[in-house]
C-alpha cells in the first residue's frame, strides 16, 4: 500500500488559502519542536547511561522514546505540508500513541514510589549534607591518619621506654597468653622478637616451673578484678639462674570495665635480697657485738670500780682516824684524785650506757630547793679554793616538789657547775632555776649556771656539746678534761625530753642553761610571817647584787621590816639612824663582821643587836673566836631560806645561840651491837673497806670469799643480814642467792635479807639482783651513810623463817615513817577539812583494794598483781603513807619478777602497815574511824 494518499487531500503547501507567513510559522514551529524532541532523548539516554544508581530507568527510556516519537510526528507534520504521506504520518502517530500508552501503563503503578522520592530542595539539602559529611569524613580520615602516626610514634616511644627500664613488663589476655613484653623480659625468655612470645603461656617459657604459681595469681586477678601489689617471688632466667623479683599485677579492663587480661611488672631485687640477708647477718653480728660490749662494760666497770672502791673506802676509813694536818691534807689530796678518776670512769661508762640504750631514768618526787642547795653546797668548797663566790638564789623563788631523776639531775648540775669553776678565775658563779611555763600539773623548768669567766666564741659554742670536743688552741679556755662532761649533759637532758644550750660573749661571761618539762607534785610550803618574826627589824650589809636582791625578796615575802646597804658607810649610817624597841638583826658576811669594831659599835646603840653571819664552809669548821663573844648565828653559803628563817626566829625569840655547822654526826656504834652480818666478797681490799664501814655501827662481821663458802656458813650459823658481792669465783652472788632462797638448800634462814654489792654500773643490775632473790642493792663505792641506811632498813625486821610470816609489829620498825604528816599537810595547803575528807575516803576504800589484791594473789595472776600494786602505790603516795608506799613498790617489783614467795610474805605486811596508818590518822587528824 502506498504511504501517499492524494485523493481528496491536498498538501497544505500547495493550498491557496495558506499564505506564506502561516506556512512558515507551522514549518518553523514543528521543526524546532522536532529538534528539541530529538535532543531531549539524547540527553536522557546520556544521563541514564552515566548514572548507575538511577531508579526507575524504564521510565526514563519510555519518556525518551515517547519524546522521540513526538518529535517524529512533528517532523511528519512538516513533510505532509508538501508530500501527502498521510499513512506514514499516521503510522508514526500510532507508534507515538503506543509508546505513550506503554509509558502511562508503566508509569501509573510507579507513581506512589516516584512520589515518595525526595524533592529537589531535599535532594539539594541532602546533597549538601552528603558533601559536608564527605568533607568531614575526609578530615576525619586525615586526623585519623595523623593520630595513627602519633600513636605509632607514641608506641615507638613507649616501646623504647619499656625496653630501656630494667623492670620487666608484660600483659596477657583473658586466656593468660602473652600479648606483649618489653625487651628485658624478652631477653629473659631467650627470644629476639616480640612476635615469638605473643600467644605463649608461662608453661611454654623458661620459668615454667613457677607457671602454676603465676597462673593462680593471674586467675585470682581475673576473677576478683583486684590488683596484687608488692609480691616477692622467684623466677628463673634463660640460663637457669634463680632470681628474686618484686611483682605488681593489675587487671586490664575494656570500655565496659570488664576484665580482659592482666598487666604486670616485676623488678629484679636479687641484689637487694642478698644485701638484706647480709644486713640481717650484720645485725645479728652487731647485736652479738653489742652484747659482748655490754658484758665488757659491765666487767670493766666491775674491774675498774672495785679497786677504786677499795682506794676511796680506805681513804674514808683513814680520814676517820687521828691525823695531823699534813697527813689529813695528803689523805684529802689522794681522796680528791681518786674521786676525780672515779668521776672520769663514770663519764665513760655513762656515755657507753647512753650509746647502747642501757641508761634508764628513774623519776621520784624531789624537793628542788634542797636538791639545788645540796649541789651548790657540795661545790662550794671548790669555789672557795679558787676564791670564787657560788650563789644559789633560785630555790627561794621556785621552791617546789617535782618528779625528776635526782641522780641524773645532780650529775648535770655538777658537770655544769664544775665546768664553770674550771674556767672562771675571779668573780662568781650563779646557779638559778625558774619556772618558765606552767600547765598544771606539768611545768617547764629552766636551770642556768652563769659565770664571770673568759667567755666563749660563737664558733666554739657550736662545738661544746659534741663528744670528745675540747676548745682548740685559739680559744682562751685551756684544754682540760675528757671532753665528755658537756656531751653527757646534752645526752641526759635530751633523754629527759629537754634541751640545753649556752649564751656567751668572748672575754666577758657565759651562761649554760637547760630546760626540762616535769610534773609538779605540789608547791613546797613556804615559811610565812607569824608571831615568830613579829616586830623584827633587819639591816643587811651586802655588796653583791645577787645577795641584795635575794634578801630584799626574801624579807619582803616574810613581811619583815628591813633595809639594805651595799657599803659599810651606808650600813653604819642606817644603823645609827635606826630607832626600834625590838631586836635588830644585822646580816653580813663574816669578813665584814671581823673587820668591824663591834664593841665600839654596840656602845653607840640603844637597842638590842644580834648577828646573822654568812660564812664559807671552811670558816664553819674553824669558827672565829670573835663570834663567840656576841649573839651570832653562822650560816654556810650558799644560803637556804629555811635556815635563814629558823636563824631569824632563833635570834628573835632569845633562844640559845647555836652555830649552824655542817659536821658528821657521831656514829651510834652500839646501835647494832647484837647483830651478826655475813659479808660475801672476794676482793681483799673491799673486804677491809666494807667490814670497817659495817663495824662502825656495831655489828659482828664474818667473811665468806665466794658463794659456795657463804652457803656453808649460812647452813651452820644464824646471821641477821648478808652483804653479797655479785661477781666472784667458784660461785657468783646471783647463783648463791638463788640457792639460799631455794627450799631445797640447807641454809637456816631462807628469807634472810640479802643486800647486793656490785661495781657494775649498767642498766638492769638492780633488776637482775632482785630477780635472783636479793632484797636491795648498793652500787660501789660503798659509803658509810649507805651502809647505815641499809642496816636501819633491814635489821629493823625480825628474821622471817621458812614457812613463817613476819611479825608485823617488828618488821615495820624502820626509819621510814608510817605517815608523813608534814608532807601531807603541805600537799593539801594546810586545809584541815580537806585533809580529813581525803583521809576518810582513803581509809574507807583501802580495805576493798587490799581485799581485791588478796583475791588476785590467790589466782596468781602476776600481771594483775603488778597493776593492783601500782594502784596501791599511787594511793599511798597521795596519802604520804611512806611505809605502805615502800611495801607497794616491793610488791609491784616482786609481781613483775613472778616471786610468789615474796608476794605471800609482803601481803600481810601491807595489811599491818595499813592498820598502823589508820591508827596514826586517827591520832593525827582525829578521824575516829
Contacts with 454 (C-beta within 8 Å, 6 or more apart), sequence order: 423, 425, 476, 477, 506, 507
Q: Is 230 helix (H, G, I), strand (E, B) or coil?
A: strand
The answer on pLDDT for 535 being more than 50 is: yes
Nearest to 92 by CA among 78, 104, 108: 78
Nearest to 362 by CA among 394, 420, 413, 405: 405
Give the C-alpha separation, 224 to 20, whole Å.
104
Residue 713 banded pLDDT, cuts 50, 70, 90? very high
Quote the cell numbers at residue 618: 671552811
Give the C-alpha separation, 687 to 819, whole Å.
38
Residue 601: half-sphere exposure toward Cβ, Cα within 13 Å:
21
Residue 665 banded pLDDT, cuts 50, 70, 90? very low
Query: Pick the residue with more confidence: 217 or 115?
Result: 217
**How confident is the model at residue 594, as a pLDDT?**
81
Residue 759 banded pLDDT, cuts 50, 70, 90? low
DSSP letters along 349-364, please? HHHHHHHTT------E
Average pLDDT on 436-462 reads: 86
DSSP letter, residue 194: G
Quote the cell numbers at residue 263: 598487666
Query: Pick the residue with more confidence: 447 or 575?
Result: 447
**How confident is the model at residue 836, as a pLDDT?**
79
Average pLDDT on 67-90 reads: 84
Average pLDDT on 208-237 reads: 82
**How confident is the model at residue 653, as a pLDDT?**
52
Per DSSP (E only), the strands in 343-399 are 364-367, 389-391
| 214-218 contacts, C-beta under 8 A, 24 or more apart | 215/176, 217/249, 218/172, 218/176, 218/249, 218/262
Quote the cell numbers at residue 322: 687521828
Quote the cell numbers at residue 704: 665468806
Average pLDDT on 137-155 reads: 83
Give the C-alpha separation, 853 to 484, whole Å.
47
Residue 720 banded pLDDT, cuts 50, 70, 90? very high
Residue 772 banded pLDDT, cuts 50, 70, 90? confident
Tens-place pLDDT, residues 801-857: 333 333 333 333 344 678 888 767 755 556 677 677 778 878 888 888 888 888 888
The answer on pLDDT for 664 being more than 50 is: no
Q: Count H helices, E strands: the chain?
A: 30, 22
**Is-contact 694 677, C-beta < 8 A?**
yes
**Matching residue, cell 655490754:** 294
Domain with CATH 3.30.450.20 in the chain: 165-268
Percent of the chain with pLDDT over 90: 10
DSSP letter, residue 594: H
Torsion of CA 40, 44, 47, 49, to 10 degrees: -130
Tens-place pLDDT, residues 271-312: 887 888 888 888 888 777 766 766 676 666 666 766 776 777
Nearest to 575 by CA among 566, 583, 584: 584
- Helix (H) / strand (E) element for 246: namely strand 242-253
Per the DSSP assignment, residues forming a β-bridge with 587 are: 540, 612
- Top mean pLDDT of 423-427, 827-831, 869-873 is at 423-427
**How confident is the model at residue 333, as a pLDDT?**
65
**How confident is the model at residue 416, as a pLDDT?**
92
Which of 118-127, 381-390, 475-484, 852-861 is predicted with the least confidence, judged by mean pLDDT? 475-484
Torsion of CA 290, 292, 294, 298, to 10 degrees: -170
What is each CA distance from 22 to 81, 85, 137, 163, in whole angstroms?
12, 21, 62, 98
Nearest to 460 by CA among 442, 474, 445: 474
**How confident is the model at residue 8, as a pLDDT?**
54
What is each CA distance from 473 to 262, 419, 420, 466, in whole angstroms?
70, 18, 19, 17
Residue 395 banded pLDDT, cuts 50, 70, 90? very low
Residue 867 banded pLDDT, cuts 50, 70, 90? confident
**Matching residue, cell 576478683:** 224
Which of 83-92, 227-236, 499-508, 523-532 is predicted with the least confidence, judged by mean pLDDT? 523-532
**Is-contact 584 608, C-beta < 8 A?**
yes
**How confident is the model at residue 573, as a pLDDT?**
86
Quote the cell numbers at residue 4: 501517499
Give the C-alpha separation, 575 to 131, whole Å.
124
Give the C-alpha separation, 687 to 705, whole Å.
9
**Is-contact 879 838, C-beta < 8 A?**
yes
Q: Is 241 helix (H, G, I), strand (E, B) or coil?
A: coil
Domain with CATH 1.20.120.160 in the chain: 821-925
**How confident is the model at residue 663, as a pLDDT?**
30
Cα torsion 355, 448, 419, 503: sign: positive
- 3.40.50.720, 3.30.470.20, 3.30.450.20, 3.20.20.70: CATH of 165-268: 3.30.450.20
Give the C-alpha separation, 606 to 608, whole Å.
7
Percent of the chain with pLDDT over 70: 81
Give the C-alpha separation, 228 to 213, whole Å.
13
Quote the cell numbers at residue 516: 626540762
Tens-place pLDDT, residues 31-72: 888 888 888 888 888 888 887 777 777 878 888 888 888 888
**Matching residue, cell 594502784:** 871
Which of 118-132, 246-260, 442-456, 719-733 is predicted with the least confidence, judged by mean pLDDT? 118-132
CATH number of 531-652: 3.40.50.2300
| Residues belonging to the chain | 929
The answer on pLDDT for 27 being more than 50 is: yes
Average pLDDT on 393-415 reads: 76
Give the C-alpha separation, 365 to 523, whole Å.
12
Domain with CATH 3.30.565.10 in the chain: 361-523
Tens-place pLDDT, residues 775-793: 888 876 677 767 887 888 8
**How confident is the model at residue 768, as a pLDDT?**
77
pTM: 0.47
Cα torsion 147, 152, 155, 160: sign: negative
The topology under which CATH files domain 361-523 is Heat Shock Protein 90 (3.30.565)
Phi/psi for 731 (5° steps) reads -150, 125
Tens-place pLDDT, residues 338-384: 766 776 777 777 777 776 676 778 888 887 877 887 788 778 878 88
Query: Pick the residue with more confidence: 693 or 829?
Result: 693
What is each CA distance from 551 to 342, 533, 592, 644, 817, in whole angstroms?
38, 15, 17, 10, 35
CATH number of 821-925: 1.20.120.160
Q: What average pLDDT is seen over the chain?
A: 78
The answer on pLDDT for 755 being more than 90 is: yes
Give the C-alpha separation, 645 to 540, whole Å.
15
**How confident is the model at residue 513, as a pLDDT?**
94
SS3 annotation, 557-586? HCCCEEEEECCHHHHHHHHHHCCCCCCEEE
Q: Is 488 helix (H, G, I), strand (E, B) or coil?
A: helix
Per the DSSP assignment, residues forming a β-bridge with 234 are: 244
Amino acid at each position: 500500500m502506498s504511504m501517499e494518499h492524494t485523493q481528496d487531500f491536498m498538501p497544505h503547501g500547495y493550498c491557496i488559502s495558506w499564505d506564506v507567513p502561516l506556512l512558515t510559522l507551522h514549518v518553523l514551529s514543528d521543526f524546532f519542536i522536532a529538534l528539541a524532541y530529538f535532543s531531549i532523548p539524547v540527553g536522557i539516554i546520556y544521563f541514564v547511561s552515566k548514572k548507575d544508581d538511577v531508579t526507575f530507568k524504564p521510565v526514563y527510556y519510555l519518556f525518551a522514546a515517547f519524546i522521540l516519537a513526538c518529535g517524529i510526528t512533528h517532523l511528519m507534520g512538516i513533510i505532509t505540508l508538501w508530500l501527502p504521506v498521510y499513512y506514514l504520518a499516521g503510522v508514526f502517530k500510532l507508534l507515538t500513541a503506543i509508546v505513550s500508552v506503554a509509558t502511562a501503563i508503566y508509569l501509573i503503578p510507579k507513581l506512589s514510589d516516584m512520589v515518595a522520592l525526595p524533592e529537589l530542595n531535599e535532594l539539594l539539602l541532602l546533597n549538601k549534607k552528603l558533601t559536608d559529611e564527605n568533607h568531614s569524613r575526609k578530615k576525619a580520615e586525615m586526623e585519623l591518619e595523623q593520630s595513627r602516626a602519633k600513636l605509632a610514634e607514641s608506641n615507638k616511644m613507649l616501646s623504647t621506654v619499656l625496653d630501656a627500664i630494667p623492670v620487666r613488663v608484660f600483659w596477657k589476655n583473658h586466656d593468660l597468653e602473652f600479648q606483649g613484653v618489653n625487651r628485658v623480659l624478652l631477653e629473659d625468655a631467650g627470644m629476639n622478637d616480640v612476635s615469638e612470645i605473643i600467644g605463649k603461656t608461662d608453661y611454654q617459657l623458661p620459668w615454667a616451673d613457677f607457671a602454676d604459681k603465676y597462673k593462680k595469681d593471674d586467675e585470682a586477678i581475673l576473677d576478683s578484678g583486684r590488683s596484687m601489689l608488692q609480691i616477692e617471688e622467684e623466677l628463673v632466667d634463660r640460663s637457669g639462674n634463680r632470681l628474686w623479683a618484686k611483682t605488681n599485677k593489675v587487671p586490664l579492663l575494656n570500655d565496659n570495665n570488664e576484665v580482659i587480661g592482666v598487666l604486670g611488672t616485676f623488678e629484679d631485687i636479687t641484689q637487694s635480697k642478698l644485701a638484706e640477708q647480709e644486713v640481717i647477718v650484720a645485725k645479728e653480728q652487731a647485736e652479738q657485738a653489742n652484747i659482748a660490749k655490754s658484758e665488757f662494760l659491765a666487767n670493766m666497770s666491775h674491774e675498774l670500780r672495785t679497786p677504786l672502791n677499795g682506794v676511796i673506802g680506805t681513804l674514808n676509813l683513814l680520814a676517820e682516824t687521828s691525823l695531823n694536818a699534813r697527813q689529813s691534807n695528803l689523805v684529802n689530796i689522794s681522796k680528791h684524785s681518786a674521786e676525780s678518776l672515779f668521776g672520769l670512769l663514770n663519764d665513760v661508762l655513762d656515755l657507753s650506757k647512753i650509746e647502747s640504750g642501757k641508761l634508764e631514768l628513774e623519776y621520784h618526787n624531789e624537793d628542788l630547793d634542797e636538791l639545788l642547795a645540796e649541789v651548790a653546797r657540795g661545790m662550794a668548797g671548790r669555789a672557795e679554793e679558787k676564791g670564787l663566790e657560788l650563789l644559789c638564789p633560785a630555790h627561794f623563788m621556785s621552791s617546789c616538789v617535782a618528779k625528776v631523776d635526782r641522780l641524773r639531775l645532780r650529775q648535770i648540775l655538777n658537770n655544769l657547775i664544775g665546768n664553770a669553776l674550771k674556767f672562771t678565775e675571779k668573780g662568781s658563779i650563779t646557779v638559778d632555776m625558774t619556772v618558765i611555763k606552767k600547765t598544771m600539773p606539768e611545768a617547764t623548768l629552766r636551770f642556768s649556771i652563769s659565770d664571770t669567766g673568759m667567755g666563749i666564741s660563737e664558733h666554739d659554742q657550736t662545738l661544746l656539746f659534741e663528744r670528745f670536743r675540747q676548745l682548740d688552741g685559739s680559744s682562751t679556755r685551756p684544754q682540760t678534761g675528757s671532753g665528755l662532761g658537756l656531751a653527757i649533759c646534752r645526752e641526759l637532758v635530751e633523754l629527759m625530753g629537754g634541751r640545753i644550750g649556752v649564751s656567751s660573749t668572748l672575754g666577758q661571761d657565759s651562761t649554760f642553761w637547760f630546760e626540762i618539762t616535769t610534773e609538779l607534785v605540789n608547791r613546797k610550803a613556804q615559811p610565812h610571817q607569824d608571831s615568830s618574826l613579829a616586830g623584827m627589824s633587819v639591816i643587811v650589809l651586802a655588796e653583791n647584787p645577787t645577795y641584795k636582791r635575794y634578801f630584799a625578796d626574801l624579807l619582803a615575802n616574810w613581811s619583815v621590816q628591813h633595809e639594805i646597804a651595799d657599803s659599810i658607810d651606808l650600813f653604819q649610817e642606817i644603823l645609827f639612824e635606826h630607832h626600834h624597841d625590838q631586836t635588830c638583826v644585822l646580816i653580813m658576811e663574816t669578813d665584814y663582821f671581823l673587820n668591824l669594831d663591834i664593841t665600839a659599835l654596840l656602845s653607840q646603840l640603844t637597842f638590842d643587836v644580834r648577828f646573822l653571819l654568812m660564812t664559807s664552809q671552811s670558816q664553819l669548821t674553824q669558827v672565829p673566836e670573835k663570834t663567840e663573844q656576841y649573839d651570832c648565828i653562822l650560816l654556810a653559803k650558799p644560803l637556804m631560806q629555811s635556815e635563814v628563817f629558823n636563824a631569824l626566829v632563833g635570834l628573835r625569840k632569845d633562844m640559845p645561840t647555836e652555830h649552824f655547822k655542817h659536821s658528821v654526826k657521831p656514829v651510834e656504834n652500839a646501835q647494832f651491837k647484837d647483830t651478826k652480818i655475813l659479808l660475801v666478797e672476794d676482793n681483799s681490799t673491799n673486804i677491809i673497806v666494807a667490814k670497817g664501814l659495817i663495824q662502825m655501827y656495831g655489828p659482828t662481821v664474818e667473811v665468806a670469799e665466794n658463794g659456795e663458802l657463804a652457803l656453808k656458813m649460812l647452813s651452820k650459823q644464824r646471821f641477821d643480814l648478808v652483804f653479797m658481792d655479785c661477781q666472784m669465783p667458784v660461785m657468783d652472788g646471783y647463783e648463791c642467792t638463788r640457792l639460799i632462797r631455794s627450799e631445797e638448800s640447807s641454809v637456816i634462814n631462807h628469807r634472810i635479807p640479802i643486800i647486793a654489792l656490785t661495781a657494775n654500773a649498767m642498766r638492769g643490775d638492780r633488776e637482775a639482783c632482785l630477780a635472783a632473790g636479793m632484797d636491795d642493792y648498793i652500787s660501789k663505792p660503798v659509803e658509810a651513810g649507805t651502809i647505815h641506811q641499809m642496816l636501819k632498813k633491814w635489821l629493823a625486821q625480825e628474821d622471817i623463817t621458812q614457812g613463817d610470816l613476819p611479825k608485823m609489829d617488828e618488821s615495820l620498825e624502820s626509819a621510814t615513817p608510817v605517815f608523813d604528816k608534814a608532807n601531807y599537810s603541805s600537799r593539801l595547803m594546810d586545809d584541815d577539812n580537806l585533809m580529813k575528807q581525803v583521809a576518810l575516803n582513803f581509809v574507807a576504800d583501802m580495805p576493798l583494794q587490799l581485799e581485791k589484791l588478796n583475791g588476785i594473789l590467790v589466782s596468781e595472776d602476776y600481771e594483775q598483781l603488778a597493776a593492783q600494786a601500782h594502784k596501791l602505790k599511787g594511793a599511798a603516795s597521795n596519802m604520804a603513807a611512806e611505809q605502805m608506799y615502800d611495801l607497794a613498790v616491793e610488791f609491784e617489783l616482786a609481781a613483775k619478777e613472778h616471786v610468789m614467795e615474796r608476794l605471800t610474805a609482803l601481803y600481810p605486811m601491807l595489811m599491818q602497815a595499813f592498820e598502823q596508818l589508820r591508827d596514826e590518822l586517827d591520832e593525827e587528824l582525829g578521824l575516829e574511824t
